[in-house]
Chain A
Amino acid sequence: SQQGEEDPQALSIQEGENATMNCSYKTSINNLQWYRQNSGRGLVHLILIRSNEREKHSGRLRVTLDTSKKSSSLLITASRAADTASYFCATDAWAVGGGSEKLVFGKGTKLTVNP
């Protein structure tokens, strides 16, 4: 299985603190993506990191990728109450017939940021 698996399963922090979530996967990937999901809502794309990249930033988000360890981390700096959500990593896999990718999601980390 190529599933991403996040840890911790749940994380509770105070506003202003940094939140780090980790993701591990099992097989080679082309890209790894992070998504956010507010309770009962859709998935919001946060960031994509290619397999030949080691680090990527977007605003308060920092993603690292270590392909030798098959792991990635998502750091949210200076967290806000509005960051409360579940965060998922998703690894890609080329469709057998080519032409498009499917995403394989982990179980997610539930982040709670307390005001």
Chain B
Amino acid sequence: EPEVTQTPSHQVTQMGQEVILRCVPISNHLYFYWYRQILGQKVEFLVSFYNNEISEKSEIFDDQFSVERPDGSNFTLKIRSTKLEDSAMYFCASSERGDPAEQYFGPGTRLTVT
């Protein structure tokens, strides 16, 4: 069964460093998303992406964040200058349609900022 994959599974970085989190969505899906979950808290929406542009972004998704679909398969989240509070589990998701959007999530990347 097709699934969303994410790499790396765990990333440790120092404050101020740039990180790129990678995702390979399900191949026939057209809508892509990033969410994050700080330990013990809710899953929070970061950004949605469709037709090669951002559909919506949350207030968390400030200028330090960017997304890109560099080729036909990858979808990346870049954090330009990480802060301690960026430590979280980052989930990529994809869906075939916009509505209803059954979103399928990857296993997540645990980002630890020291």
Query: What residues of chain A have their CB less than 8 Å away from a CB belonging to chain B?
Result: 3, 30-31, 33, 35, 40-45, 48, 50, 88, 90, 92, 94-108
Contacts and interface: CB of A to CB of B under 8 A. Distances in A.
Interface stretch (B11-19, B43-51, B63-71, B77-85): B43-51
The 4 tightest CB contacts between A and B, nearest first, are A95-B56, A42-B107, A95-B55, A43-B105
B104 interface: yes
Dominant SS among interface residues on chain A:
strand
Contacts of A107: 41-42
Given A105-B42, A107-B41, 15 more contacts: A3-B42, A40-B89, A41-B107, A41-B108, A43-B93, A45-B103, A92-B99, A92-B101, A96-B56, A100-B48, A100-B55, A101-B31, A102-B33, A106-B42, A107-B42
A75 to B, nearest CB: 20
Interface residues of B, number: 31
Contacts, number: 85
B56 to A, nearest CB: 4
Contact of A43 (B43, B45, B50, B58): B43
B108 A31 contact: no
A98 B103 contact: no
B2 interface: no
A106 B56 CA distance: 20
Given A42-B91, A88-B43, A30 B107 contact: no
B98 interface: yes
A105 B103 CA distance: 12
B91 A48 contact: no
B100 interface: yes
Given A43-B105, A95-B56, A105-B42, A48 B50 contact: no
B45 to A, nearest CB: 4
B55 A92 contact: no
Given A95-B55, A100-B50, A45 B104 contact: yes
Contacts of A95: 48, 55-56
A42 B106 contact: yes
